[in-house]
Amino acid sequence: MKIHDIFRPQRDAVVSKWIEAVYATYPLETTGFLRTRKDPFTNPVGDMTHEAAGRLFDAVSGEDTDPRTVRTAIDRFVRLRAVQKMTPSQAIGVFFLLKPIMREILLPLCAGDKARAAYLNAESRLDSIVLLAFDMYTEARETLAESRITEIRSQYAQVVRWAQTVDGSPVSGKS
């Protein structure tokens, strides 16, 4: 029996449980909204979470390891959480929520040395995804910080230009 034969039938159960664990990281008033709204336009966070969780589970299980697909799925989680008021551990911790769920649902099904080794490889893929997610999160936060700095500089320049138009201003060209 291949590891895919163990992981594939459990995919929906694992992904659903993981999504619920991710939703639990949000404040209570947000969690209800995330769970009940299925429209991607009214609930982009829920839509992104559903899409990314399924793709990342496929990557962890070894079914879809295309680097672009994996990066895109990670990016869906990371960019969203980078702009929210979360610590890095809260933002990246959602990936670690998958591990206990896998241990609860999948590990008991992995009898035998080969299946157990394949399961451990899946956990190693998850660890690699977490490291990549951390790099991507850091990059997203740096981009966000640079955007904020640019915005502040622009606002400062506007204030200086306005101040220069005011008579008697210390920054005006008139005395």
Q: Is the pLDDT of residue 164 over 60?
A: yes
Task: Indicate the fold that domain 3-148 takes in CATH.
Answer: Globin-like (1.10.490)
Separation between Cα atoms, residue 36 and residue 100, nearest integer Å: 25
Query: Would you say residue 42 has pLDDT above 60?
Result: yes
pLDDT digits (tens, 9 = 90+) for 71-103: 988 888 887 777 777 788 888 888 999 999 999
pLDDT of amino acid 131: 93
Number of other CB atoms surrounding residue 119 within 10 Å: 20
133 pLDDT above the threshold of 70: yes
The domain locations on the chain are 3-148
Output the average pLDDT for the chain.
83
pLDDT tens profile 110-123: 888 888 999 999 99
C-beta of residue 126 within 8 angstroms of C-beta of residue 99: yes
